[in-house]
Amino acid sequence: MTNNSELAFTVKAQEEIKRNGKEPILGGQLRTKAAWVDESLCIGCTYCSCVATNTFAMEPNYGRARVFRQDGDSSSLIQEAIDTCPVNCIDWVKFEDLDTLRAQLEAKSIRPLGLPPLR
Ligand code: SF4
Protein backbone atom coordinates (compact mmCIF):
# COMPACT_ATOMS: atom_id res chain seq x y z
CA MET A 1 0.00 0.00 0.00
CA THR A 2 1.31 3.42 -0.91
CA ASN A 3 1.48 6.30 1.50
CA ASN A 4 0.22 8.87 -0.95
CA SER A 5 -1.83 11.58 0.81
CA GLU A 6 -3.35 12.71 -2.49
CA LEU A 7 -5.47 9.55 -2.47
CA ALA A 8 -7.66 11.17 0.19
CA PHE A 9 -8.88 13.64 -2.43
CA THR A 10 -9.56 11.09 -5.14
CA VAL A 11 -11.53 8.45 -3.22
CA LYS A 12 -15.28 9.08 -2.91
CA ALA A 13 -16.44 9.76 0.63
CA GLN A 14 -19.61 7.75 0.06
CA GLU A 15 -20.47 5.02 -2.36
CA GLU A 16 -22.98 6.11 -4.93
CA ILE A 17 -26.34 4.50 -4.21
CA LYS A 18 -27.84 2.79 -7.22
CA ARG A 19 -31.61 2.50 -7.03
CA ASN A 20 -33.34 -0.56 -8.38
CA GLY A 21 -36.93 0.59 -7.86
CA LYS A 22 -37.65 -1.86 -5.09
CA GLU A 23 -36.56 0.24 -2.13
CA PRO A 24 -39.12 1.58 0.28
CA ILE A 25 -39.42 5.25 -0.56
CA LEU A 26 -41.66 6.73 2.07
CA GLY A 27 -41.81 5.49 5.62
CA GLY A 28 -41.12 2.04 4.37
CA GLN A 29 -39.20 0.77 7.34
CA LEU A 30 -41.38 -2.33 7.42
CA ARG A 31 -42.51 -2.85 3.85
CA THR A 32 -42.33 -1.68 0.26
CA LYS A 33 -46.06 -1.06 -0.13
CA ALA A 34 -48.44 1.44 1.39
CA ALA A 35 -51.96 1.13 2.77
CA TRP A 36 -54.56 3.31 1.12
CA VAL A 37 -58.22 3.99 1.90
CA ASP A 38 -60.51 5.05 -0.92
CA GLU A 39 -62.47 7.48 1.22
CA SER A 40 -65.11 7.93 -1.44
CA LEU A 41 -66.22 4.34 -0.76
CA CYS A 42 -65.65 4.21 3.01
CA ILE A 43 -68.87 3.94 5.02
CA GLY A 44 -67.29 4.98 8.31
CA CYS A 45 -67.82 1.72 10.18
CA THR A 46 -64.51 2.25 12.10
CA TYR A 47 -63.50 -1.43 11.90
CA CYS A 48 -60.08 -0.76 10.36
CA SER A 49 -59.24 1.91 12.93
CA CYS A 50 -60.14 -0.49 15.72
CA VAL A 51 -57.88 -3.24 14.36
CA ALA A 52 -54.76 -1.37 13.20
CA THR A 53 -54.88 1.54 15.59
CA ASN A 54 -51.47 2.93 14.63
CA THR A 55 -52.32 3.06 10.95
CA PHE A 56 -55.98 4.02 10.46
CA ALA A 57 -57.96 6.82 12.09
CA MET A 58 -61.37 8.31 11.43
CA GLU A 59 -61.05 11.67 9.72
CA PRO A 60 -63.20 14.01 11.87
CA ASN A 61 -64.74 16.21 9.17
CA TYR A 62 -65.86 13.48 6.79
CA GLY A 63 -66.22 10.58 9.23
CA ARG A 64 -64.25 8.27 6.95
CA ALA A 65 -61.11 6.27 7.61
CA ARG A 66 -57.70 7.54 6.58
CA VAL A 67 -54.18 6.14 6.84
CA PHE A 68 -52.22 8.50 9.04
CA ARG A 69 -49.04 6.46 9.33
CA GLN A 70 -47.43 3.83 7.13
CA ASP A 71 -45.04 2.23 9.59
CA GLY A 72 -47.22 2.06 12.68
CA ASP A 73 -48.38 -1.55 12.50
CA SER A 74 -47.11 -4.83 11.08
CA SER A 75 -48.16 -5.87 7.58
CA SER A 76 -50.18 -8.75 9.01
CA LEU A 77 -52.16 -6.46 11.32
CA ILE A 78 -52.87 -4.04 8.47
CA GLN A 79 -53.94 -6.97 6.33
CA GLU A 80 -56.29 -8.02 9.13
CA ALA A 81 -57.77 -4.50 9.11
CA ILE A 82 -58.13 -4.67 5.32
CA ASP A 83 -59.96 -7.98 5.64
CA THR A 84 -62.46 -6.49 8.11
CA CYS A 85 -63.54 -3.74 5.72
CA PRO A 86 -67.11 -4.52 4.66
CA VAL A 87 -66.88 -2.52 1.42
CA ASN A 88 -63.31 -3.47 0.38
CA CYS A 89 -62.11 0.09 0.10
CA ILE A 90 -58.61 -0.45 1.56
CA ASP A 91 -55.79 -1.55 -0.71
CA TRP A 92 -52.07 -2.07 -0.77
CA VAL A 93 -50.55 0.37 -3.25
CA LYS A 94 -47.10 1.54 -4.27
CA PHE A 95 -45.70 4.40 -2.23
CA GLU A 96 -45.06 6.19 -5.50
CA ASP A 97 -48.80 6.16 -6.29
CA LEU A 98 -49.97 7.84 -3.09
CA ASP A 99 -49.73 11.41 -4.41
CA THR A 100 -51.74 10.53 -7.50
CA LEU A 101 -54.38 8.73 -5.45
CA ARG A 102 -54.69 11.71 -3.09
CA ALA A 103 -55.11 14.06 -6.02
CA GLN A 104 -57.79 11.81 -7.55
CA LEU A 105 -59.58 11.66 -4.21
CA GLU A 106 -59.51 15.44 -3.80
CA ALA A 107 -61.03 15.82 -7.27
CA LYS A 108 -64.10 13.86 -6.15
CA SER A 109 -66.73 15.68 -4.17
CA ILE A 110 -67.05 13.62 -1.03
CA ARG A 111 -69.91 14.29 1.36
CA PRO A 112 -69.40 14.00 5.10
CA LEU A 113 -71.11 10.91 6.43
CA GLY A 114 -74.25 11.49 8.46
CA LEU A 115 -75.55 14.32 6.29
CA PRO A 116 -78.66 13.98 4.13
CA PRO A 117 -78.04 13.44 0.38
CA LEU A 118 -77.84 16.38 -1.99
CA ARG A 119 -81.10 17.38 -3.73
S1 SF4 B 1 -63.25 -0.76 7.55
FE2 SF4 B 1 -63.56 0.12 5.48
S3 SF4 B 1 -65.58 1.09 5.56
FE4 SF4 B 1 -64.98 0.70 7.67
S5 SF4 B 1 -64.02 2.64 8.33
FE6 SF4 B 1 -62.38 1.31 7.58
S7 SF4 B 1 -62.14 1.88 5.43
FE8 SF4 B 1 -64.12 2.67 6.09
For the stretch 36-79, pLDDT in tens is: 999 999 999 999 999 999 999 999 889 999 999 988 899 999 99
Pocket of ligand 1 (CB under 6 A): 37, 42-48, 64-65, 84-87, 89-90
Interatomic CA distance for residues 17 and 32, integer angstroms: 18
How many angstroms does the Cα of residue 112 sit away from the middle of ligand 1?
14
CB 68 within 8 A of CB 56: yes
Model confidence band, residue 119 (pLDDT cutoffs 50, 70, 90): low
What pLDDT is stored for residue 32 in this prediction?
77
What pLDDT is stored for residue 96 in this prediction?
85
Interatomic CA distance for residues 86 and 63, integer angstroms: 16
> Residue 58: which of 119, 114, 2 has the closest Cα?
114
Interatomic CA distance for residues 95 and 70, integer angstroms: 10
**CB atoms inside a 10 Å sphere around CB 95:** 18
Q: Is the dihedral of CA 99, 22, 34, 15 positive or negative?
A: negative
The residue that leads in pLDDT, 116 or 80, is 80
Report the percentage of the chain scoring pLDDT > 90: 53
What pLDDT is stored for residue 71 in this prediction?
84
- Reported pTM: 0.74
The CATH T-level fold of domain 29-107 is Alpha-Beta Plaits (3.30.70)
For ligand 1, atom 6: residue with the closest CA: 48
How many angstroms does the Cα of residue 65 sit away from the middle of ligand 1?
6
